[in-house]
């Protein structure tokens, strides 16, 4: 296998392991709300993970589900409602839905891992990112290979992206078979993967080694127990996403791996 020269992304520069608050710490706070993100930043987090959808009139919003039903006092599909209607919804009956530009502009030193929830998100997301000048502070990911590929085309090679499902599968295969090593030629900055896939552990020493050999960081989600955090850190992963940011900080501090940012 020829040597892999890793691409450097501003989003990934700095010490590891990266502590990342998933949806602003969805167990400890109301997910994807400004008070949740504010609490994480106050705790020392400089990496926040969140989700992006777009309204019927093209406004990117910070929201996970395709509908309002689960977490707000309203109902309906996000992509079928204008922003004027979403603005009146309250998450947990209390907190308004955030426009993405509100979150991206809140802290000049915070980096954002953005889960692109639909293909229609990309164009308005790109306009928002470029208008705010925050391309160096974001990483884009998706469960759709097509969306990841489209993100790379639209945003260009300077913006960090994570592997899509096919890339993760190829990386996993290459960790077991040297003959498959050439399958992983994707210009991503990281592999962001779940603890388990199909009921089986996905991340092991071979997976981490295969990623690092290709210049990819490994970020694991969603890691919500002390035992899981410890196991992942012992494997040498580069980032941990959690719904329990206070817990993750405590574990990292105990190991001497919490880095004030």
64 belongs to the catalytic site: yes
Q: Which of 29, 64, 130, 212 is catalytic?
A: 64
29 belongs to the catalytic site: no
Report the distance separating Cα 101 and Cα 60, nearest Å. Answer: 8
Residue 240's nearest CA partner among 51, 100, 250 is 250
Burial class of 88 by CB neighbour count within 10 A (0 to 12, 13 to 18, 19+): exposed
Q: Which of 22, 29, 219, 254 is catalytic?
A: 22
Residue 103's nearest CA partner among 20, 36, 150, 56 is 36
Q: CA geometry: angle at 248 spanning 243 and 254, to 5°? A: 170
Report the distance separating Cα 105 and Cα 87, nearest Å. Answer: 18
Report the distance separating Cα 37 and Cα 108, nearest Å. Answer: 14
Catalytic residues: 22, 64
């Amino acid at each position: 296998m020829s040597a892999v020269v890793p691409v450097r992304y501003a989003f990934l520069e700095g010490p590891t392991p990266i502590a990342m608050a998933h949806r602003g710490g969805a167990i400890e706070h109301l997910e994807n709300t400004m008070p949740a993100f504010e609490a994480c930043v106050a705790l020392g987090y400089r990496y926040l993970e969140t989700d992006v959808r777009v309204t019927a009139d093209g406004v990117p919003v910070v929201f996970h589900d395709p509908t309002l039903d689960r977490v707000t006092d309203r109902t309906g599909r996000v992509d079928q409602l204008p922003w004027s209607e979403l603005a009146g919804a309250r998450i947990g009956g209390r907190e308004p839905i955030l426009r993405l530009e509100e979150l991206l502009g809140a802290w000049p030193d915070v980096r954002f891992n953005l889960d692109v929830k639909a293909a229609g998100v990309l164009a308005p997301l790109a306009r928002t990112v470029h208008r705010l000048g925050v391309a160096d502070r974001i990483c884009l990911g998706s469960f759709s290979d097509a969306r990841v590929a489209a993100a790379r085309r639209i945003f260009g090679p300077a913006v960090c992206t994570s592997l899509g499902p096919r890339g993760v599968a190829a990386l996993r295969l290459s960790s077991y078979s040297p003959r498959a090593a050439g399958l992983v030629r994707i210009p991503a900055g990281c592999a962001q993967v779940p603890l388990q896939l199909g009921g089986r552990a996905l991340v092991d020493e071979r997976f981490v080694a295969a990623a690092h050999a290709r210049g990819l960081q490994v970020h694991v989600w969603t890691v919500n127990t002390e035992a899981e955090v410890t196991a992942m850190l012992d494997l040498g992963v580069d980032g941990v996403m959690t719904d329990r940011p206070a817990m993750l900080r405590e574990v990292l501090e105990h190991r001497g791996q919490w880095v004030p940012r």
